A and B are shown apart, each in its own frame.
Chain A
Amino acid sequence: MMSYLLLQTIIIPALVSLFILLTRHKLGKKAGWIAGFSLLYTTALLIYACFLAYNGAAITEEYPFVSMEITFDLLGDGLSLPVALIINMLCTALAFYSIHYVEHRIEAIYGHEDERTFLNLYTKFFSLFLGFPLGFMGVCFVKNLIAMYFFLEILPIPLYFIMAFFGYIDRVRVALICFMWAIVSAGFFLAGTLIIYYHTGSFDISEISILASHPMAFWAILLILIAILAKMAVVPFQVWMPWVHAEHPTCIAGLLAVYANIAAYVMVRVLVFPLTDDFRVFSIPLMILALITMVYGSLLTLAQTDVKRFAACSTISQLAYSLLGISALTIFSVEGGMFFFLGHIMGKTILFSTAGILVYVTGIRDMRQLGGLAQKMPVTTALWIMGALMLSGFPPMSSFPAEWIMFTGIFKSGINAMPLGLIIAIMGVSAIILTVAYTFRSVKIIFFGPVNPALEDEKIKDPPLSMRVPLLLVAAVSIILGIYPKLVLNLFHTVLGKLPNL
């Protein structure tokens, strides 16, 4: 087995980030390619790690840190590895996508600055960008609650600065809103963590189960749940999401979906896995909350005319599907919910990034001013439609088997908790129609019909290859996982299948 395999996936982005920061003027525009290739390398490492795990070998790496309580041990098992791999792959795709996009964004915000200032900003972006894979990999692999808290706290930092430097109109204010929400939710997470530590005497995630059946388990779960729900933008914590997604530079908007969605992973790892029975009391209330959020988010999306806000609002609704699956607490629904989460982040990355392409090419964010673009931008149209298919759970996208498996579990749990559970399940599956409605309605408004006369004369065409190819590859991965879901589900099952109470 390769040494420091998991550590490399965390350390390499950090080192490359530092390298870009230190040599920014010498590197110049190569910074984007370096960031991209470094992530390509870590993606390759993760593919290898997944291969190992697929054959039954979980990867554990132990590194001493502050004390015996706060360690830096890493665990790559069937649950963390596929999640980490897909996230890292998306980071890689978006790093390449950003190469052109950031250039355009800097020119749009700062005008034609001198070369030095331009390079400063350009390299700053990639230096900060690598904070995402660093944080995500950390959250996925760490075995320790404090370390997880640390990585959850790292993520808002690049988010804050990237938004403040490269975002849209109201960027500084929105960056602060986002930062505030992140910190408040992390505070709740920390509170829950401390309760767990107080009663178990350990920060180790694998020892959380000691708290099972303890009266304080309820409070620990509740506090961590609040943190997770705020991060996942579940109603009533959804207000930050449309702002943050709308004002961000689009090249990282896909990662923002991951940022919100990774809470689903944390939920499974920290709450569902060790404290299944204590979590059961939250099951129905969470399912109701998820259902409300699904419908609310979809209706909110239907009312949007801004392409970026559109994608943002849809995230609110889509995240709730994973929440519904996980909170149904059956093996099918949890595995399906996690798989849906992966399908959703791929779909959302494509959709957000395509929204970015639209803004990049036309400079317009209002859907009503677009129209008929399929004639001029066929590849972009195909990408948007693929994003729509992923969100709506059409075959052959990965979200189709995910949705099927997830709802199998939701119905199982629903029938056991009749009539309310069954009503939630039926309404949940029917609510998908709203997703179909808003995604395909947007296809019609943006891409079909006659070309808007205002766009007729401009040289509007598909964007450069570096923006298209990464997204097409992400779509290809989604299709492969849709046709052959075994690749991920078998991995999940090695971990979640062992849970006796699901």
Chain B
Amino acid sequence: MKFAWLCILFPFIGVLCIPLLAKINPKIRNAAAVFFPSLSALSSLMLLPYLFNPESLPMESSYVWLSSPFIIEFGVLVDPLSIILANVVAVISFLITVYSLGYMKGDPGLTRFWILVNLFIGSMLLLVLSNNLLFLFVGWKLVGLCSYGLIGYYYRDEEKYCIGGPPPTKFVTPTHCGLKALIVTGVGDLIMLGGFLIVFYYSGTLNLMQLYHTSSQWISEMSKTPGMIVLISILLLAGPIGKSAQFPLHEWLPEAMAGPGPVSALIHAATMVKSGVYLVARLIPLFYYGYWVSGSGEASAFFIITAWVGAITAFVAATQGAVALELKKVLAFSTVSQIGYMWIGLGMSGLSQSVLVSGTTSGIFHLVSHAVFKACLFLCAGSVIHAAHSIYINQMGAMRKYMKLTWIFMTIAALCLMGIPPLVGFWSKDAILLSTLEAHSIPIFIIAIITVVLTSFYTTRFIGMVFYGPKSEHVKHVTEKEGHIHEAYKTMWSTCGILSVIIIVFGIIGPRIEHLMTLAFRSSLTGSINLPISEGTAHPVNYHLLVAVLSISAVLMGAIPAFILYILRKGDPSKILKKSPFLQIIHQFFWRRWFIDSFYNAIFVKGTEKLASFVAHTLEDGWDTIIHRKLPDLITRRSYNILIRLRTETDDLLYNLGYILVVFIGLIAFIFFTFL
């Protein structure tokens, strides 16, 4: 248990040490900023053996934090879910801090960067290891805050750090993006807080294990109020929807790419955006119990919403990724889309008693694999952007000549994203597709397959545009002006290399990992939480084969045209686009992000501004005039001739004092005559 505590504690110690060490020597500061996350990673690895022995789980350790007006404990919960998440967070965070040593070299705000990164790591670990909803929420809020600080890291809003464009598409500043992320995710957080509090009202506890164990009482109580479980499903899902950038709160993530490269990899791909997936997985047993044991039909809403939100998001984001030109934005859309897959998997887990374990496993397995390959993709993207001095993929081209290692690593990660066997992405995505089939959700299965086509299209497209084809004018300009474009620093490419190796190794042992996770989740869900599952959880063989064939066919359907257009360069995509008005409309629709962002901007941003202006200039000013101008005038002019005389004959001050006196005396007289 102590490793779980240490895991959380180390990065927070780092937060306190970094500013002090910065005063001594920047090198010591940098070393400390990597050292503490490394200790966290080590501590989390020490928890891994428990996964092989899931019967000993869950383990809890806690201290009383608050005893009145109600008891709240500050504690950690070690179970399969938290062990997996803690390892993903701690290990990837450590690798990304190593990468940052090179990427952020010489940055003047490095102390701030390291403080925020360490604070983020600590908070994220608090989120996944906490044994109760309150401290989970503390971590939740803190990671959001760190994300805000790191997206707007380049707070001077210099032009080179703005994202968006190319003209006529407008640019947005990093601080604007940070604020947007904070507010959009904040909406979800607060609605979710409402959900937590309603759960607390019915259950009387915030402790996760107690919530599971007492669910028979409080869920039955809750289901007595019609609509309550549907309401609570919506409220509780709002937080994860915001944090994991799912439809309809997904619009903040593409803009979050304004932060430094490692931040995008760490927070907006590998870890923070997964916290929503984590929380949904945490909540599954509660609603599963409500639906399958308590017999409350309303509880199925939780799973249906989860699955459909995931499916819609996966598709919508993939279409946007297919037309985006900023490298990091392509990856951001891809992240949103891939998290949608995880949601599909988790949503499936409650729709059939036989899918509980496989659905949960598939969602979390994809979370792990995505964290690795997307972190690798983002870090490689950071190196490429660093070298090419451009954020646009159409301003790159032929980069493989200059950055061989980065090219190799990024290609491996990209193949993994597409779902090419035997890389880990193939296994995890297939697990999700399989669970949709098992739950007989054919519409969602179809959407997921179409999204596979889109995923392989946009992945091949960006790899082709970045590394293949002729040099763009921009690359020529950079090589002429600033000399040779060179490979990234050693700390940077070596991190990408390690992640690629993990992708390959995890790919080779993918089925074994899935099996291990299945056993762990089965033990946790049916053992300690005691949920009933139906027999026949073994997958029918024909489903396995069907899914593999369909998924590989879908990958090829997307990859082949993109390969011809962007790698072989046979045909000009822009000419094809010009020829077809239909394609142009579709392209514009996707480029403008389905007009969702513009719609939100018009309704929520401009609408609130207009409402605020109405309140301030019409309501408030009007009421102020009535109370502070008209009313005194009325009283003085119409009713009190003496006061008029006072005002005209003497100065303003006396007039006012007289006014006060009369009001006061009148009031006292009124009270005495009325009540006494």
Q: What residues make up the interface of A, taking CB atoms closer than 8 Å to B? A: 172-173, 176-177, 179-180, 183-184, 187-188, 190-191, 194-195, 198, 216, 219, 223, 236, 238-239, 242-243, 296, 299-300, 302-304, 331-332, 335-336, 372, 374-375, 389, 394-396, 400-401, 404-405, 407-408, 411-412, 415, 418, 425-426, 429-430, 432-434, 436-437, 440-441, 444, 447-450, 485-486, 489-490, 492-493, 496-497
A-B CB pair tally, cutoff 8 Å:
177
In-complex Cβ contact of B194 among A336, A405, A429 (8 A): A429
With contacts A195-B675, A440-B148 known, is A493 near B173, CB below 8 A?
A: no
Shortest B86–chain A CB gap in Å is 20
Bits for B116-146, please: 1 = Cβ < 8 Å to A, else 0: 0000000000000000001001100110010
390-428 of chain B: CB within 8 A of chain A? none
Asked if B508 is an interface residue, CB under 8 A from chain A, the answer is no
Return 11 A-B CB contacts under 8 Å, by A number.
A191-B667, A195-B676, A239-B624, A242-B620, A296-B619, A303-B613, A331-B69, A335-B69, A394-B141, A444-B175, A486-B68
Task: Name A's interface SS.
Answer: helix
Q: Which of A198, A401, A437, A450 contacts B676 (CB 8 A)?
A: A198
Q: Is the CB of B623 within 8 A of A236?
A: yes
**A300-B616 CB under 8 A given contacts A198-B676, A400-B138:** yes
Interface pair A489/B68, CB less than 8 Å apart = yes
Q: Evaluate contact between B176 and A430: CB separation under 8 angstroms.
A: no
Complex partner residue of B664 from A187, A239, A497, CB under 8 angstroms: A187
User: Which residues of B are found within 8 Å of A190, using beta-carbon distances?
Assistant: 668, 671
Q: Which residues of A contact B608 (CB under 8 A)?
A: 299, 302, 434, 437
Binding-face segment, B42-50, B196-204, B373-381, B525-533: B196-204
Selected from B190, B194, B611, B672, the residue in CB contact (under 8 A) with A299 is B611
Residues of B within 8 A of A183 (CB): 660, 664
CB-contact partner of B68 in A411, A412, A497, under 8 A = A497
Contact assessment for B653 and A300 in the assembled complex, using a CB-CB cutoff below 8 Å = no
| B197 A407 Cβ-Cβ under 8 A | yes
Q: How far is the CA of A474 from the CA of B306 in the complex (A)?
A: 43
Question: Which residue of the partner chain, among A300, A394, A489, contacts B620 with CB atoms under 8 Å?
Answer: A300
Query: What 15 new A-B contacts, CB under 8 Å, besides A194-B672, A195-B676?
Result: A176-B653, A176-B660, A179-B660, A184-B667, A190-B668, A198-B675, A303-B612, A304-B616, A426-B191, A426-B194, A440-B182, A444-B175, A447-B155, A448-B156, A450-B157
- How many angstroms between the C-alpha atoms of A180 and B664 in the bound complex? 9
> A395–B145 Cα gap in the complex (Å)?
9
Smallest beta-carbon distance A284→chain B, Å = 18
B568 interfacial by beta-carbon distance below 8 Å: no
Q: Closest approach, in angstroms, between the C-beta of B179 and any C-beta of chain A?
A: 5
Please report which residues of chain B, range 184-199, place their CB below 8 angstroms from some CB of chain A when the two chains form the complex. 186-187, 190-191, 193-194, 197-198
Q: What separation, in Å, do the CA atoms of A448 and B158 have in the docked complex?
A: 11
Q: How far is the CA of A255 from the CA of B664 in the complex (A)?
A: 25
| Chain B 159-194 interface mask (CB, 8 Å, partner A; 1/0) | 000000000000001011001001100110011011
Q: Which B80-138 residues have a C-beta within 8 angstroms of A? A: 134, 137-138
**In the complex, what residue of chain A is closest to B668 when comparing beta carbons?**
A187
A192 to chain B, nearest CB (A): 9
Q: How far is the CA of A183 from the CA of B608 in the complex (A)?
A: 36
Q: Tell me whether B225 is interfacial, beta carbon within 8 Å.
A: yes
* B138 near A436: Cβ-Cβ < 8 Å: no
Query: Using a CB–CB distance below 8 Å, which chain B residues touch chain A?
Result: 65-70, 134, 137-138, 141-142, 145, 148, 152, 155-158, 173, 175-176, 179, 182-183, 186-187, 190-191, 193-194, 197-198, 200-201, 225, 235, 608-609, 611-613, 615-617, 619-620, 623-624, 627-628, 652-653, 656-657, 659-660, 663-664, 667-668, 671-672, 675-676
Q: Which residues of A contact B628 (CB under 8 A)?
A: 177, 239, 243
* Cβ 8 A contact of B186, one of A418, A433, A485, A492: A433
Pairwise interchain contact B179-A441, C-beta atoms closer than 8 A: yes
A395 to B191, CA, bound (A): 17
**Shortest distance from the beta carbon of A306 to any chain B beta carbon, whole Å:** 11
Interface hub of B611, B660, B668, B675 (most chain A Cβ within 10 A): B675
In the complex, the answer to whether B660 meets A395 with C-beta atoms within 8 Å is no
Residue of A nearest to B140 (CB): A395
CB pair B675–A440 under 8 Å, yes or no, is: no
| Other-chain contact of B145, A300, A336, A394, A418 (Cβ < 8 Å) | A394
Q: Is the CB of B156 within 8 A of A372?
A: yes
Selected from A395, A396, A441, A493, the residue in CB contact (under 8 A) with B69 is A493
On whether the beta carbons of B653 and A172 are closer than 8 Å, the reply is yes
B355 to chain A, nearest CB (A): 32
Chain A residues, CB < 8 A from B157: 448-450
Q: Which of B200, B615, B656 contacts A303 (CB 8 A)?
A: B615
Q: What residue in chain B is nearest A164 (Cβ atoms)?
A: B653
Nearest Cβ distance between residue B256 and chain A, in whole angstroms?
Answer: 15
Choose from A242, A302, A486 the contact partner of B66 (Cβ within 8 Å). Answer: A486
A395 to B66, CA, bound (A): 15
Which residues does chain A contribute within 8 Å of B619, judged by CB atoms?
296
How distant is the Cα of A173 from the Cα of B632 in the complex, in angstroms? 13
Interchain CB contact under 8 A, B68 and A408:
no
Chain A residues with CB below 8 A from B675, complex form: 191, 194-195, 198, 216, 219
B193 lies within 8 A of A429 (CB):
yes
A334 smallest CB distance to B (angstroms): 9
Find B138's partner among A195, A395, A444 (CB 8 Å cutoff).
Answer: A395
Task: Chain A residues near B65: list those with CB within 8 A.
Answer: 486
Given the known A-B contacts A180-B660, A194-B671, A489-B66, are A302 and B609 also in contact in the complex, defined by CB atoms under 8 Å? yes
Nearest-Cβ distance from residue B582 to partner chain A, whole angstroms: 40
Bound CA span A344–B307, Å: 41
Q: Is B134 touching A429 in the complex (CB atoms < 8 A)?
A: no
> From residue A184, how far is it (CB to closest CB) to chain B in Å?
6
Chain B's nearest CB lies how many Å from the CB of A219? 7
A304 to chain B: which residues have CB within 8 Å? 616
Contact B663 A400 (CB under 8 A): no
Q: How far is the CA of A125 from the CA of B293 in the complex (A)?
A: 70
Q: A432–B66 Cα gap in the complex (Å)?
A: 24
Expressed in whole angstroms, the minimum distance between the Cβ of B204 and any Cβ of chain A is: 11
Closest A-chain residue to B623, C-beta based? A239
B262 to chain A, nearest CB (A): 21
Q: Is there contact, CB below 8 Å, between A302 and B612? A: yes
In-complex Cβ contact of A440 among B142, B156, B183, B659 (8 A): B183
CB contact under 8 A between A299 and B615, given known A408-B197, A430-B191: yes
Chain A residues whose CB sits within 8 angstroms of the CB of B198 once the complex forms: 411, 415
What's the nearest-Cβ distance from chain B to residue A83, in Å?
Answer: 17
Given contacts A335-B69, A411-B198, A440 and B179 within 8 Å (CB-CB): yes
Which residues of B have CB within 8 Å of A179?
A: 660
A449 contacts B66, CB within 8 Å? no
A401 touches B66 (CB 8 A): yes
Docked Cα-Cα span, A61 to B608, in Å, equals: 52
Complex Cα distance, B201 from A411, in Å, reads 7
A436 to B200: give the CA distance in the assembly, Å.
25
Complex alpha-carbon distance, A396 and B660, angstroms = 45
Q: A407-B193, A411-B201 are in contact. Are A296 and B615 (CB under 8 A)?
A: yes
A-chain residues with CB within 8 Å of residue B67 when the two chains form the complex: 486, 490
Complex Cα distance, B351 from A234, in Å, reads: 49
Closest Cβ–Cβ distance, residue A76 to chain B (whole Å): 19
Give chain A residues whose Cβ lies under 8 Å from the Cβ of B152: 444, 448
- The answer to whether A180 and B663 have CB atoms under 8 Å apart is yes
Provided the pairs A299-B616, A300-B615 are in contact, do residues A485 and B66 lie with their beta carbons within 8 angstroms?
yes
- Smallest CB–CB gap between B108 and chain A, Å? 10
| A412 touching B201, Cβ below 8 Å | yes
- Chain A residues contacting B194 (CB-CB under 8 Å) are 407, 411, 425-426, 429-430
Is A405 in contact with B69, judged by CB distance below 8 angstroms?
Answer: yes
Distance A177 CA – B152 CA, assembled complex (angstroms): 42
Q: Which residue of B lies closest to A297 (CB)?
A: B615
Contact (Cβ within 8 A) A395 B197: no
Q: How far is the CA of A130 from the CA of B645 in the complex (A)?
A: 38
Say how far B75's CB is from chain A's closest CB, in angstroms: 16
Q: Which residues of A contact B158 (CB under 8 A)?
A: 450
A401 contacts which chain B residues (CB < 8 A)? 66
